[in-house]
Amino acid sequence: MTGMATKRSSKTSYECTECGYVLSKWMGRCPSCGEWGTLEERRPAAASAAGSRSGARHLAGATSDALPVTEIDPQIANHIPSGSAELDRVLGGGIVPGSAVLLAGEPGVGKSTLLLEVSANWAKANRSVLIITAEESVGQVRHRAERTNALSEKLYIATEHDLEQALHHVDTVKPELIIVDSLQTMNASGVEGVPGGVTQTRAVTSTLTTLAKQSGTPVLAVGHVTKDGNVAGPRTIEHLVDVVLHFEGDQHSSLRFLRGIKNRFGPTEEVGCFEQTAEGIKEVTDPSGLFLNHRTESVTGTAVTVKMDGRRALVGEIQTLAVETEQGNPKRFVTGIESGRVSMMLAVLAQRCGMQLGRREVYAATVGGMRISEPAADLALGLALASTAQDEPLPLGLCAMGEVGLGGEVRRIPEINQRLSEAARLGMKHAIIPAGTSPSVPKGLEVHQVKNIGQALGVVRRLRES
């Protein structure tokens, strides 16, 4: 029986480098993800033994006695403020001791700069932090730290590709926070594959996660993303860590958003807002003002709405323009809004309200690089297009929110009270919302409930005349 078990364990298997799916025999195409030519030969027994050698000193004695839940200290999972209110908002209050956090994002979006800011805040609170970077030299990190005012004697930096040597630095420094930049560039000695491959990335992530759990020291690791925007490497690494954060931004805008995709210690709907500057990453505690084009008078084709980004209400502005054209097939130019919603609202206005814009080139855009994908902005988009068709501006201080159906009906939307509160805080005087809701109306804001877009246009006419 022993000989049979040994023979079976040494059998060659094949693993997909894209999704990590394992097969007993080679195939041209992975049956899981459908990619061609991604199956590579693996020897599970050897890889497992090598993986256990990488960081074996840290993983020994991992077992512990089972305890009654009443005897477990509730302070173990308490959040420690990171020094960044926006990051703490997304994490659910701060960094939890012993947690493993994965920060993913496209190259150049500012992941390393953000973690350097976190490290500086952590060190300024008289807590030690170790940055293990495999992508930059210590001189490069030092230069950025000097530029962003992140210098501190409690901040340690080590350039290391080998995971075993990185763990040696952890033993030497004994930090209270570990930052690894990045998972895909670390190499676990004895494990098959190249750095960034499926097996290597899984081994590095597993070792760092186990280190965090056993030592109680939180680990923040940077992860690259693929061209599709997903975390590079096997999906299993997202299951290994406690928190997955995505850092997003547009190359034409300095605004950056931090979104919680997975969080075992808090909500996943929160969004943090930052701005990339020459001095580093700065928090934006009131992002609504960035998306409004402040003016003292209303402009034709412009409407204000309130969208929900996670749990955060953001006031934004939608602008539209229609231009006469001799082309038989007028074009639609859309930025920041789903083009399908624009086409739908043009059809609804034409069929239900008699406003013909089909023979014009239509432009629709948001202000400040805001992206709106939720249907709650339909009503504001419809009013902006109606304003363009009538060549009359909407009343100043008016905002609109609601989903519009193909029949022209205005449907209810979630989080209406939070949206109204944000609108009132930004100085809005009137709000058009779907009928059938029982909102808590903030002081200074007059709410108009409508059943369809025709009634909404009627409210606009009355406000113009008053």
Largest separation between any pair of C-alpha atoms in the chain: 92
Alpha-carbon distance of 387 to 408, in angstroms, equals 17
The number of C-alpha atoms within 13 Å of 455 and in the hemisphere containing its C-beta is 15
Q: What is the mean pLDDT of residues 15-36?
A: 78
Confidence (pLDDT) at 11: 66
Q: Which residues are 102's β-sheet partners? A: 221, 244
Q: Distance between CA 85 and CA 285 in Å, rounded?
A: 8
Cα(281)–Cα(153) distance, integer angstroms: 21
Strand segments (E) across 211-294: 219-223, 243-249, 255-263, 271-277, 280-283
What is the pLDDT of the chain when averaged over all its residues? Answer: 86
d(C-alpha 140, C-alpha 220), whole Å: 20
Identity of the residue numbered 396: L
Q: Using an 8 Å Cβ cutoff, are 284 and 257 in contact?
A: no
Amino acid at 426: L
**Cα angle, residue 205 at apex, residues 215 and 276 outer, rounded to 5°:** 95
Residue 178 vs residue 298, higher pLDDT: 178
Beta bridge partners of 259: 246, 271
Please state which of the ranges 28-42, 130-144, 335-349 shows the lowest mean pLDDT: 28-42
Please check whether residue 341 is in contact with residue 272, taking contact to mean a CB–CB distance below 8 angstroms. Answer: no
Q: In 17-166, which ranges are E strands? A: 22-23, 39-42, 100-105, 129-133, 155-159
181-185, 391-395, 403-407 — which is least confidently predicted? 181-185
Inter-residue contact 137 to 159 (CB < 8 Å): yes
CA dihedral 14, 15, 17, 21 (to 10 degrees): 140
* Closest-CA residue to 288 (of 256, 308, 316, 311): 316
Query: Residue 412 — very low, low, confident or very high, per pLDDT cuts 50/70/90?
Result: very high
Q: Which pLDDT value is given to residue 3?
A: 41
| Distance, CA of 380 to CA of 372 (rounded, Å) | 11
> Which tens digits make up the pLDDT trace of 431-444?
999 999 888 999 99
d(CA 161, CA 23): 30
pLDDT for 229: 61
Q: What percent of the chain has pLDDT over 90?
A: 57
- In this prediction, residue 54 has a pLDDT band, given cuts at 50, 70 and 90, of very low
Task: Look at strands 332-335 and 360-366 and give their pairing.
Answer: parallel
Cα gap 165→197, rounded to integer Å: 20
State the pLDDT at residue 293. 63
pLDDT band for position 228 (50/70/90)? low
DSSP H or E run through 16? strand 13-16
Provide the pLDDT for residue 266. 87
- Residue 417 has a CB neighbour count (10 Å cut-off) of 15
Question: How large is the average pLDDT for residues 317-333?
Answer: 90
DSSP state of 393: P
pLDDT, tens digit (0-9, with 9 covering 90-100), for 67-92 = 898 887 777 778 999 999 999 999 99
pLDDT in tens, 279-317: 889 998 888 777 776 666 789 999 999 999 888 899 999
Q: Are 128 and 247 in contact (CB under 8 A)?
A: no
pLDDT 10s digits, 107-135? 888 999 999 999 999 999 999 999 999 88
Q: What is the CA radius of gyration of the chain?
A: 27
Residue 380's SS3 state is: helix
For 384-434, the three-class secondary structure string (H helix, E strand, C coil) is HHHHHHHCCCCCCCEEECCEECCCCEEECCCCHHHHHHHHHHCCCCEEEEE
Provide the 10 A C-beta neighbour count for residue 46: 14
Structure tokens that stand for 205 in this block:
């992530």
